[in-house]
């Protein structure tokens, strides 16, 4: 039975439930392969099962969740081949994003990038691994947002979450997915309007992340679903 809620604690919307699950994936709080039982999710979110089902269907459409006949839903476990496909698509998409952004950059764009890089540096300085994982991923999404192409942003949002699953599976969760100094150099090239250099740096950056992957499957880890989705 779903938990009772008050006016000050309204049940989350479908969008909010999707965002909380995706955030838990990005921050490595929901491991690949985790079963998402409808009853348990309904209890965690304080809603009924009917409201959980479209959330799972949407996440399945985006590749974040896999629906197993007669076994329910689980966080997707990308294969090594699927991991390569994710990076292949990112290598096509993200150099184009930074080239577009470099051609139209202005002081407002520079300030947004500077503010974000400052938050990355602060998270690294205080050794806040969870925040650093989130922020390094958000840097790529910020580039797409500032470039102004909503379709690219939507595609990259899905790819970024899939990349988090790949990183969880094939790289130590204690190692940041992105090097902060790479981001600084990319932002500097954008600020100078040097789209060609920004694209080269982005391509090298993505290659470096992919080359750091170890395709051996990780050991299973125990966790609590309610704690993972606490937000």
CA-based torsion, 110, 162, 171, 200: positive or negative: negative
CATH number corresponding to 80-211:
1.20.120.530
Question: Do residues 47 and 12 make contact, with C-beta atoms less than 8 angstroms apart?
Answer: yes
Phi (first) and psi of residue 138, to 5 degrees: -65, -25
Give strand ranges (E) for the chain: 35-36, 65-68, 72-75
CATH number corresponding to 14-76+218-228:
1.10.10.10
Domain boundaries, the chain: 14-76+218-228, 80-211
- Nearest alpha carbon to residue 15 among 39, 51, 41, 40: 51
Number of neighbours of residue 138 by Cβ within 10 angstroms: 16
Model pLDDT, residue 88: 96
Q: Which residues contact 37 (CB under 8 A, 6 or more apart)?
A: 72
Can you give the pLDDT of all 231 residues of the chain as single tens digits?
444 444 457 889 999 999 999 889 888 889 899 999 999 999 999 999 999 999 999 999 988 999 988 778 999 999 999 999 999 999 999 999 999 999 999 999 999 999 999 999 999 999 888 888 889 999 999 999 999 999 999 999 989 989 989 988 887 555 555 666 899 999 999 999 999 999 999 999 999 998 888 765 555 666 677 787 876
Model pLDDT, residue 222: 64
Model pLDDT, residue 221: 61
Question: Do residues 100 and 145 make contact, with C-beta atoms less than 8 angstroms apart?
Answer: no
Model pLDDT, residue 7: 43
User: Do the domains spanning 14-76+218-228 and 80-211 agree at the CATH topology level?
Assistant: no
Q: 39 in the Ramachandran plot: left (φ > 0), alpha (ψ -120 to 50) or beta?
A: alpha
pTM score above 0.85:
no
Phi (first) and psi of residue 24, to 5 degrees: -65, -35
């Amino acid at each position: 039975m779903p938990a009772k809620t008050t006016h000050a604690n309204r049940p989350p919307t479908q969008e909010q439930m999707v965002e909380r699950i995706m955030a838990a994936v990005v921050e490595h709080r929901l491991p690949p392969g985790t079963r998402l039982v409808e009853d348990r999710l309904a209890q965690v979110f304080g809603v009924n099962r009917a409201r959980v089902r479209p959330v799972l269907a949407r996440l399945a459409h985006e590749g974040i969740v896999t629906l197993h006949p007669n076994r329910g839903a689980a966080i997707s476990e990308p294969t090594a081949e699927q991991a390569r496909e994710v990076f292949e698509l990112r290598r096509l998409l993200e150099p184009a994003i930074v080239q577009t952004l470099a051609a139209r950059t202005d002081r407002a764009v520079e300030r947004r990038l500077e503010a974000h890089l400052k938050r990355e540096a602060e998270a690294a300085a205080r050794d806040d691994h969870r925040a650093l994982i989130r922020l390094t991923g958000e840097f790529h999404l910020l580039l797409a947002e500032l470039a102004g192409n909503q379709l690219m942003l939507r595609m990259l949002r899905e790819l970024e979450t899939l990349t988090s699953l790949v990183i969880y599976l094939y790289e130590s969760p204690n190692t940041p997915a992105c090097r902060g100094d790479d981001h600084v150099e990319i932002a500097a090239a954008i600020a100078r309007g040097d789209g060609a250099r920004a694209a080269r740096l982005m391509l090298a950056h993505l290659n470096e992340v992919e080359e750091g992957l170890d395709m051996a499957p990780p050991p299973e880890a125990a966790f609590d679903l309610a704690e993972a989705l606490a937000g």
